[in-house]
Chain A
Amino acid sequence: MMDKMIFGRFIPGDSFVHRLDPRSKLIFVFAFIIVVFLANNTPTYIVLLAFTLLVILMSRIKLYFLINGLKPIIILMVFTFLLHIFFTKEGPLIFEWKFIHIYEQGLRQGIYISIRFLVLVFVTSILTLTTSPISITDGMEVLLGPLKKFKLPVHELALMMSISLRFIPTLMDETDKIMKAQMARGSDITTGPIKDRIKAVVPLLVPLFVSAFKRAEDLATAMEVRGYRGGEGRTRYRQLKWSIEDTVALLSIVVITAILVYLRS
């Protein structure tokens, strides 16, 4: 089940979108989230949908794969759609059967909201699917850079992020090992009433925490010995490169905004 879920996963590749600088992708998604709210009639929503399809196409991620991976979110979307259909009572009545009354405005709002939801989820997923977590971190660090003036520890936050990302697989392995070790001692996490299961998790968490703290201490020592003393005077090995494609990507957002402003009612 977890394998199909694609929210927050990264699929390496070499498409146009993959090659974009994380900064431009982040700005793009941020701008897109705002722009989506400009749409308010059928032509504008069609434009949004078409634009999203274009983005997906350029990322060379299969639409089927995307829909399959976002199933839980699509179920949520259907649910909001139904809510709108049944509870908005405006405009002429277009369908009536027993106690179900569907009004034109309800249908319209339902479809609009669903499209809005869909394009937002798709575009943000494309960001995380085509950008490695570490690149996203790099991009954020640079984009949030100006906030350093307001004493926001941007470098430290980014380093924390990247170290957490680096240790996720290590700690997953460890959890697995501890789980097996406790199972070998007769602990049972997968069956029984909830209360027992929660109790069985405690002997799993305690060793995990102890070892995580030990790791953190070791890592801090190793970092200090290797000369780490905060962000000041540090150079960067991971370089970000802004290319003409990045400018094009951002221009496309400007164009879309112009079109939406022109078409909206």
Chain B
Amino acid sequence: MHEILSLNHVTFTYAPEEPTVKKAVEDVSFHVEEGEWIAIVGHNGSGKSTIARLISGLLFPQSGTVNVLGQTLSEENLWESRSQIGMVFQNPDNQFVGATVQDDVAFALENNGVPYEDMVERVHEALKQVKMDDFLNHEPQHLSGGQKQRVAIAGALALRPRLLILDEATSMLDPQGRQEVLSVVRDLREKTGLTVLSITHDLEEAVMADRLLFMNGGKKYAEGTPSEIFALGDQLIELGLDLPFAMKLTKLLQAESVQLQGENMTEEQLVNDLWTSNFKK
């Protein structure tokens, strides 16, 4: 396996002159391997977006290093590194630059000086990957939020990045839009093995990741597979994080002395658990 990204003892504060102000990110280290899906969870203001900004070189750490594809991020390799990273933000409207869907997808390609013939091919390919290829000439105001986010993902994919960062990309969408976006990301990973770093409050989304990073007050509180993290149970709730719905239901059912085996992080697992345990009776 190949390392895509690593943070080493990264510390960042928005107010470097005032040492009394709490640091937005404090001594955070983690690494991401190629092909992994890693999710960062944590309550509001725990430093998640700041980490994303540090990775994309919008901010530089006061101490520690950020390494993208084996290179320490600096002013010199900033733009090269950005061309390897695709990033999708929260608000679907505020990241749509182009006049139409295809113009928007081409934006990053234009910036990187990709020749015209290549661009046409890549725009079509990227839009096909997010299933928006029927909307080439649509204007943003005629698209739903989920569609706009898929276009934003296509805009990131067109550059063929090694890493896709989603900063609460689904949090402004309705359940259907959220499903659309998540299923696109899942498909992409299956087909292309894209590395994904998603920042999210949506626990169903977090459960889909291979590994979770739990942030609390600018520090990394815990790191592990979703089942390891959610096994923390009450500790999580104390720190402002909820448990996935299926897990809470499992706990309640167990309290009512229904025989259940696992922790059931997803609805599907819970349903399977329910019928198998009923079957055994």
Contacts and interface: CB of A to CB of B under 8 A. Distances in A.
Interface of A: 132, 134, 162-163, 165-166, 169-170, 173, 214-215, 218-219, 221-229, 233-239
Interface stretch (B37-45, B102-110, B211-219): B102-110
A221 B120 CA distance: 25
Contacts of A229: 79, 111
B198 to A, nearest CB: 16
23 contacts: A163-B97, A165-B99, A166-B97, A166-B99, A169-B140, A215-B94, A218-B94, A218-B95, A219-B97, A221-B58, A222-B95, A225-B82, A226-B97, A226-B107, A226-B108, A227-B108, A227-B112, A229-B111, A235-B113, A235-B115, A237-B102, A237-B103, A237-B107
B89 interface: yes
Give chain A's interface secondary structure class: helix
B7 to A, nearest CB: 18
Contact of A222 (B97, B114, B115, B141): B97
A132 B159 CA distance: 28
A166 B58 contact: no
B96 interface: yes
Contacts of B233: none
A223 B111 CA distance: 9
A27 B58 CA distance: 42
A237 B106 contact: yes
B113 A234 contact: yes
B89 A235 contact: no
B98 interface: yes
Contacts of B91: 215, 218
B30 interface: no
Give chain B's interface secondary structure class: helix
Given A218-B89, A227-B83, A229-B111, A170 B95 contact: no
Given A134-B99, A215-B94, A234-B110, A222 B89 contact: yes
Task: Name, among B87, B91, B111, B140, the residue most crowded by chain A CB atoms within 10 Å (CB to CB).
Answer: B111
Contacts of A235: 109-110, 113-116, 119
B170 to A, nearest CB: 17
Contacts of A173: 141
Nearest to B107: A226
B140 A170 contact: yes
B116 A166 contact: no
B174 interface: no
B109 A237 contact: yes
A101 B79 CA distance: 75
Contacts of B97: 163, 166, 219, 222-223, 226
Interface in B149-198: 155-156, 159
A214 B113 CA distance: 29
Task: Name, among A162, A214, A219, A226, the residue most crowded by chain B CB atoms within 10 Å (CB to CB).
Answer: A226
Contacts of A166: 96-99, 140
Interface string B203-226: 000000000000000000000000
Q: What are the 3 closest A-B residue pairs judged by CB atoms, nearest first?
A: A218-B94, A237-B106, A222-B95
A170 B116 contact: no
